[in-house]
Amino acid sequence: MALRQILTIGDETLYKKCRKVELFDTRLHTLLDDMKETMYAAAGVGLAAIQIGILKRVVTIDTGEGLLELVNPEIIETRGSEEAAEGCLSVPGKQGNVVRPTYVKVRAQDRNGEFYEVDGEGLLARAFCHEIEHLDGHLYIEKATDIVDRNFEDEE
């Protein structure tokens, strides 16, 4: 495994659209392993491959309930709405308030290409939305209000 450099706001790569993963091979497994290591080293709760310059629809998330590896993730159900503070490893030192669903269900593939569904509330629901938006070249600050210098530890 290897630590990868996290791109930050202003890098044009972050605004591109990511391609669907077709090959579930050792390159994908290495990417997922590196993303996990990079995410934990940066104390983030989520990371999208685009944030390390790889334009593939791959996400890792760990909100404290264990590691999730999401390949080609899609949101298939949402409920509710709540506003809370959010940050991003690609927007260092900042946080802003974003309205997200309180409940989100996602369909994704694992590292071997098997489809599965996973759902979550609160921070996990927020992380699903935040990371999947990265895959289409969007940053949370496009929809955030009250962007300020950060004072909390969770970053996505």
154 binds Ni ion (CB under 5 A): no
Phi, psi torsion values for 8, nearest 5 degrees = -120, 165
H helices within 6-144, ranges in order?
26-41, 123-134
The answer to whether 29 and 19 have CB atoms below 8 angstroms apart is no
Of 80 and 92, CB closest to Ni ion = 92
The 3-state DSSP class for residue 104 equals: strand
- Please list the helix, strand and coil fractions of the chain in percent, rounded to the nearest 5, in that order: 25, 35, 40
Of 71 and 88, CB closest to Ni ion = 88
Question: What's the Cα-to-Cα distance from 124 to each of 11, 21, 66, 113, 130, rounded to whole Å?
Answer: 26, 23, 11, 22, 10
Of 94 and 113, CB closest to Ni ion = 94
Is 131 an active-site residue? yes
129 binds Ni ion (CB under 5 A): no
Nearest distance from residue 116's CB to Ni ion, in Å?
23
Q: Which of 35, 45, 52, 88 binds Ni ion (CB under 5 A)?
A: 88
Angstrom distance (rounded) from CA 4 to CA 20:
21
Please tell me which residue in 69, 86, 131, 155 is annotated as part of the active site.
Answer: 131
Nearest distance from residue 36's CB to Ni ion, in Å?
16
**Residues touching Ni ion, count (CB under 5 A):** 2
Nearest distance from residue 23's CB to Ni ion, in Å?
25
156 binds Ni ion (CB under 5 A): yes
Q: Kindly list the catalytic residues.
A: 131
Residues that bind Ni ion (CB under 5 A): 88, 156
